[in-house]
Amino acid sequence: MSEGHDHLTALLGRLKLTALRDQLDTLIDEAGRRDLTIREALTLFCEREVARRDQRRIEMAFGLARFPFVRDLTGFDFAAQPSLDKGQTREIATGRFIANGEAVLLLGPPGVGKTHLAVALGREAIVAGYSVMFTPATTLVAQLAKAYAEGRLEERLTHYAKPKLLIVDELGYLPFEPDAAHLFFQLVSRRYERGAMLVTSNRAVGEWGTVFGDAVVATAILDRLLHHSHVVTIRGDSYRLREKRRSGLLQRATTAPQPTPV
Protein backbone atom coordinates (compact mmCIF):
# COMPACT_ATOMS: atom_id res chain seq x y z
CA MET A 1 0.00 0.00 0.00
CA SER A 2 1.23 3.49 -0.85
CA GLU A 3 1.83 6.18 1.73
CA GLY A 4 -0.94 8.24 0.12
CA HIS A 5 -3.39 5.35 0.50
CA ASP A 6 -2.49 4.86 4.14
CA HIS A 7 -2.87 8.59 4.81
CA LEU A 8 -6.30 8.62 3.14
CA THR A 9 -7.58 5.62 5.12
CA ALA A 10 -6.30 7.23 8.31
CA LEU A 11 -8.19 10.43 7.49
CA LEU A 12 -11.37 8.46 6.76
CA GLY A 13 -10.96 6.73 10.11
CA ARG A 14 -10.58 10.04 11.95
CA LEU A 15 -13.73 11.29 10.22
CA LYS A 16 -15.47 8.03 11.26
CA LEU A 17 -16.25 7.25 7.62
CA THR A 18 -15.67 3.57 8.27
CA ALA A 19 -17.65 2.23 5.31
CA LEU A 20 -15.51 4.32 2.94
CA ARG A 21 -12.33 3.29 4.75
CA ASP A 22 -13.17 -0.43 4.67
CA GLN A 23 -14.42 -0.44 1.05
CA LEU A 24 -12.08 2.20 -0.37
CA ASP A 25 -10.34 0.11 -3.02
CA THR A 26 -13.58 -1.55 -4.13
CA LEU A 27 -15.38 1.79 -4.41
CA ILE A 28 -12.54 3.41 -6.34
CA ASP A 29 -12.47 0.45 -8.76
CA GLU A 30 -16.26 0.65 -9.19
CA ALA A 31 -16.13 4.38 -9.88
CA GLY A 32 -13.42 3.74 -12.45
CA ARG A 33 -15.31 0.93 -14.18
CA ARG A 34 -18.43 3.09 -14.41
CA ASP A 35 -16.39 6.08 -15.61
CA LEU A 36 -17.98 8.29 -12.97
CA THR A 37 -17.28 12.00 -12.66
CA ILE A 38 -15.84 13.27 -9.39
CA ARG A 39 -19.30 14.44 -8.33
CA GLU A 40 -20.86 11.08 -9.20
CA ALA A 41 -18.09 9.21 -7.41
CA LEU A 42 -18.55 11.32 -4.26
CA THR A 43 -22.28 10.60 -4.42
CA LEU A 44 -21.59 6.86 -4.65
CA PHE A 45 -19.17 6.99 -1.71
CA CYS A 46 -21.62 8.95 0.45
CA GLU A 47 -24.49 6.57 -0.40
CA ARG A 48 -22.43 3.57 0.73
CA GLU A 49 -21.47 5.31 3.97
CA VAL A 50 -25.08 6.27 4.72
CA ALA A 51 -26.26 2.73 3.91
CA ARG A 52 -23.73 1.24 6.34
CA ARG A 53 -24.73 3.67 9.09
CA ASP A 54 -28.44 3.01 8.52
CA GLN A 55 -27.85 -0.73 8.75
CA ARG A 56 -25.92 -0.36 11.99
CA ARG A 57 -28.60 1.90 13.44
CA ILE A 58 -31.32 -0.57 12.50
CA GLU A 59 -29.47 -3.56 13.95
CA MET A 60 -28.81 -1.71 17.20
CA ALA A 61 -32.43 -0.56 17.42
CA PHE A 62 -33.69 -4.11 16.84
CA GLY A 63 -31.61 -5.22 19.82
CA LEU A 64 -32.78 -2.37 22.05
CA ALA A 65 -36.44 -3.03 21.16
CA ARG A 66 -36.26 -6.49 22.78
CA PHE A 67 -38.54 -8.24 20.29
CA PRO A 68 -39.23 -11.86 21.34
CA PHE A 69 -38.55 -13.13 17.81
CA VAL A 70 -38.03 -11.98 14.22
CA ARG A 71 -41.21 -11.48 12.19
CA ASP A 72 -42.09 -9.29 9.24
CA LEU A 73 -45.20 -8.40 7.27
CA THR A 74 -44.18 -10.46 4.25
CA GLY A 75 -44.33 -13.55 6.45
CA PHE A 76 -47.86 -12.87 7.72
CA ASP A 77 -50.55 -15.11 6.21
CA PHE A 78 -53.25 -12.55 5.37
CA ALA A 79 -55.19 -15.18 3.41
CA ALA A 80 -55.67 -17.18 6.62
CA GLN A 81 -57.17 -14.12 8.37
CA PRO A 82 -59.72 -12.68 5.91
CA SER A 83 -61.20 -10.42 8.61
CA LEU A 84 -57.94 -8.46 8.66
CA ASP A 85 -57.96 -5.38 6.42
CA LYS A 86 -54.69 -5.57 4.50
CA GLY A 87 -54.98 -1.94 3.42
CA GLN A 88 -55.42 -0.77 7.00
CA THR A 89 -52.40 -2.82 8.06
CA ARG A 90 -50.30 -1.28 5.29
CA GLU A 91 -51.42 2.20 6.37
CA ILE A 92 -50.37 1.47 9.96
CA ALA A 93 -47.03 0.16 8.69
CA THR A 94 -46.24 3.57 7.16
CA GLY A 95 -45.66 4.84 10.71
CA ARG A 96 -47.88 7.90 10.38
CA PHE A 97 -49.67 6.90 13.57
CA ILE A 98 -46.31 7.12 15.38
CA ALA A 99 -45.58 10.59 14.04
CA ASN A 100 -49.03 11.66 15.27
CA GLY A 101 -48.69 10.03 18.71
CA GLU A 102 -51.69 7.76 18.13
CA ALA A 103 -52.57 4.28 19.42
CA VAL A 104 -53.10 0.97 17.63
CA LEU A 105 -55.12 -1.79 19.29
CA LEU A 106 -54.73 -5.30 17.87
CA LEU A 107 -57.62 -7.35 19.26
CA GLY A 108 -58.52 -11.00 18.78
CA PRO A 109 -58.46 -14.49 20.30
CA PRO A 110 -55.17 -16.28 21.06
CA GLY A 111 -53.17 -17.59 18.14
CA VAL A 112 -54.43 -15.34 15.34
CA GLY A 113 -51.13 -13.52 14.81
CA LYS A 114 -51.43 -10.40 16.97
CA THR A 115 -47.89 -10.63 18.34
CA HIS A 116 -46.52 -11.45 14.88
CA LEU A 117 -48.15 -8.27 13.55
CA ALA A 118 -46.95 -6.22 16.53
CA VAL A 119 -43.34 -7.29 16.02
CA ALA A 120 -43.54 -6.79 12.26
CA LEU A 121 -45.00 -3.29 12.65
CA GLY A 122 -42.36 -2.49 15.28
CA ARG A 123 -39.58 -3.54 12.90
CA GLU A 124 -41.11 -1.42 10.12
CA ALA A 125 -41.11 1.53 12.52
CA ILE A 126 -37.42 1.07 13.30
CA VAL A 127 -36.51 0.95 9.61
CA ALA A 128 -38.48 4.19 9.20
CA GLY A 129 -36.31 5.80 11.87
CA TYR A 130 -38.46 5.54 15.02
CA SER A 131 -37.31 4.18 18.38
CA VAL A 132 -39.33 1.19 19.60
CA MET A 133 -39.68 -0.78 22.83
CA PHE A 134 -41.52 -4.11 23.08
CA THR A 135 -42.74 -5.44 26.44
CA PRO A 136 -45.24 -8.08 27.58
CA ALA A 137 -48.01 -6.45 29.61
CA THR A 138 -47.19 -8.60 32.65
CA THR A 139 -43.54 -7.49 32.59
CA LEU A 140 -44.52 -3.84 32.19
CA VAL A 141 -46.91 -3.90 35.13
CA ALA A 142 -44.45 -5.81 37.32
CA GLN A 143 -41.74 -3.25 36.56
CA LEU A 144 -44.05 -0.34 37.38
CA ALA A 145 -45.21 -1.97 40.63
CA LYS A 146 -41.62 -2.71 41.68
CA ALA A 147 -40.53 0.86 40.91
CA TYR A 148 -43.50 2.25 42.85
CA ALA A 149 -42.63 0.12 45.90
CA GLU A 150 -39.02 1.33 45.73
CA GLY A 151 -39.92 4.99 45.24
CA ARG A 152 -38.63 5.02 41.64
CA LEU A 153 -41.92 5.23 39.75
CA GLU A 154 -41.08 8.53 38.04
CA GLU A 155 -37.82 7.07 36.77
CA ARG A 156 -39.57 3.98 35.37
CA LEU A 157 -42.37 6.02 33.78
CA THR A 158 -39.73 8.16 32.08
CA HIS A 159 -38.04 4.98 30.82
CA TYR A 160 -41.24 3.72 29.20
CA ALA A 161 -42.13 7.18 27.89
CA LYS A 162 -38.90 7.60 25.90
CA PRO A 163 -39.42 5.42 22.80
CA LYS A 164 -41.52 6.86 19.98
CA LEU A 165 -43.47 3.59 19.92
CA LEU A 166 -44.21 1.43 22.96
CA ILE A 167 -45.61 -2.03 22.17
CA VAL A 168 -47.51 -3.68 25.02
CA ASP A 169 -48.20 -7.32 24.23
CA GLU A 170 -50.87 -9.66 25.58
CA LEU A 171 -52.85 -7.23 27.69
CA GLY A 172 -55.69 -9.16 29.29
CA TYR A 173 -54.24 -12.67 29.41
CA LEU A 174 -53.79 -12.20 33.15
CA PRO A 175 -55.82 -9.83 35.35
CA PHE A 176 -53.99 -6.89 36.88
CA GLU A 177 -52.98 -6.93 40.52
CA PRO A 178 -54.69 -4.38 42.82
CA ASP A 179 -53.51 -0.83 42.13
CA ALA A 180 -51.64 -1.93 38.98
CA ALA A 181 -54.35 -0.38 36.81
CA HIS A 182 -53.57 3.03 38.31
CA LEU A 183 -49.89 2.62 37.43
CA PHE A 184 -50.74 1.65 33.85
CA PHE A 185 -53.06 4.65 33.66
CA GLN A 186 -50.18 6.93 34.65
CA LEU A 187 -48.07 5.52 31.82
CA VAL A 188 -50.86 5.91 29.26
CA SER A 189 -51.42 9.47 30.45
CA ARG A 190 -47.68 10.20 30.18
CA ARG A 191 -47.64 9.04 26.56
CA TYR A 192 -51.05 10.48 25.58
CA GLU A 193 -50.72 12.56 22.37
CA ARG A 194 -46.91 12.51 22.76
CA GLY A 195 -45.85 8.91 22.21
CA ALA A 196 -47.56 6.22 20.16
CA MET A 197 -48.65 2.90 21.67
CA LEU A 198 -49.48 -0.44 20.11
CA VAL A 199 -51.41 -2.81 22.38
CA THR A 200 -52.36 -6.42 21.65
CA SER A 201 -55.16 -8.02 23.64
CA ASN A 202 -57.36 -11.11 23.57
CA ARG A 203 -60.14 -9.10 25.21
CA ALA A 204 -62.61 -6.75 23.56
CA VAL A 205 -62.38 -3.22 24.92
CA GLY A 206 -65.74 -3.73 26.64
CA GLU A 207 -64.07 -6.36 28.85
CA TRP A 208 -61.15 -4.22 29.95
CA GLY A 209 -62.90 -3.29 33.18
CA THR A 210 -62.50 -6.93 34.22
CA VAL A 211 -58.87 -6.97 33.10
CA PHE A 212 -57.96 -3.90 35.14
CA GLY A 213 -60.22 -4.80 38.05
CA ASP A 214 -61.49 -1.22 38.10
CA ALA A 215 -64.12 -0.06 35.63
CA VAL A 216 -63.47 3.62 36.31
CA VAL A 217 -59.73 3.37 35.63
CA ALA A 218 -60.37 1.15 32.59
CA THR A 219 -62.69 3.82 31.18
CA ALA A 220 -60.05 6.52 31.74
CA ILE A 221 -57.39 4.40 30.03
CA LEU A 222 -59.64 3.65 27.05
CA ASP A 223 -60.66 7.29 26.81
CA ARG A 224 -57.04 8.18 26.09
CA LEU A 225 -56.15 5.17 23.95
CA LEU A 226 -59.26 5.40 21.77
CA HIS A 227 -59.20 9.18 21.31
CA HIS A 228 -56.66 8.92 18.46
CA SER A 229 -56.62 5.25 17.56
CA HIS A 230 -56.69 2.52 14.97
CA VAL A 231 -58.56 -0.57 16.18
CA VAL A 232 -57.78 -3.81 14.33
CA THR A 233 -59.96 -6.79 15.23
CA ILE A 234 -58.95 -10.22 13.96
CA ARG A 235 -61.74 -12.79 13.92
CA GLY A 236 -59.95 -15.88 12.69
CA ASP A 237 -58.87 -19.32 13.79
CA SER A 238 -55.72 -19.92 15.77
CA TYR A 239 -52.72 -20.75 13.56
CA ARG A 240 -51.61 -23.33 16.09
CA LEU A 241 -54.98 -25.10 16.19
CA ARG A 242 -55.19 -24.98 12.39
CA GLU A 243 -51.85 -26.75 12.08
CA LYS A 244 -52.96 -29.37 14.58
CA ARG A 245 -56.14 -29.96 12.60
CA ARG A 246 -54.11 -30.35 9.40
CA SER A 247 -51.83 -32.88 11.03
CA GLY A 248 -54.76 -34.75 12.54
CA LEU A 249 -53.55 -34.26 16.11
CA LEU A 250 -56.60 -32.31 17.22
CA GLN A 251 -59.01 -34.79 15.67
CA ARG A 252 -57.27 -37.73 17.31
CA ALA A 253 -57.34 -35.94 20.64
CA THR A 254 -61.07 -35.23 20.41
CA THR A 255 -62.01 -38.71 19.16
CA ALA A 256 -59.85 -40.68 21.59
CA PRO A 257 -61.86 -43.14 23.71
CA GLN A 258 -62.92 -41.82 27.08
CA PRO A 259 -61.92 -43.70 30.24
CA THR A 260 -64.60 -45.89 31.73
CA PRO A 261 -65.98 -44.42 34.99
CA VAL A 262 -65.00 -46.44 38.03
Q: For the packed helices 86-93 and 114-127, what is the interaxial angle rounded to 10 degrees?
A: 40
Is the pLDDT assigned to residue 170 strictly greater than 90?
A: yes
The answer to whether 163 touches 129, Cβ cutoff 8 Å, is no
121 to 46, 67, 190: CA distances (angstroms): 29, 11, 22
Is the pLDDT assigned to residue 254 strictly greater than 70?
A: no
Is the pLDDT assigned to residue 234 strictly greater than 60?
A: yes
The model's pLDDT over 186-214, given as tens digits with 9 standing for 90+, comes to 999 999 999 999 999 999 999 999 889 98
Is the pLDDT assigned to residue 249 strictly greater than 70?
A: no
pLDDT band at 259 (very low <50, low <70, confident <90, very high): very low
Is the pLDDT assigned to residue 50 strictly greater than 70?
A: yes
pLDDT band at 239 (very low <50, low <70, confident <90, very high): low
Is the pLDDT assigned to residue 261 strictly greater than 60?
A: no
What does the pLDDT read at residue 47? 93
What does the pLDDT read at residue 256? 43
pLDDT band at 241 (very low <50, low <70, confident <90, very high): low
Which of 172, 168, 118, 119 lies closest to 144 in space, CA to CA? 168
What does the pLDDT read at residue 4? 78
What is the pTM assigned to this prediction? 0.83
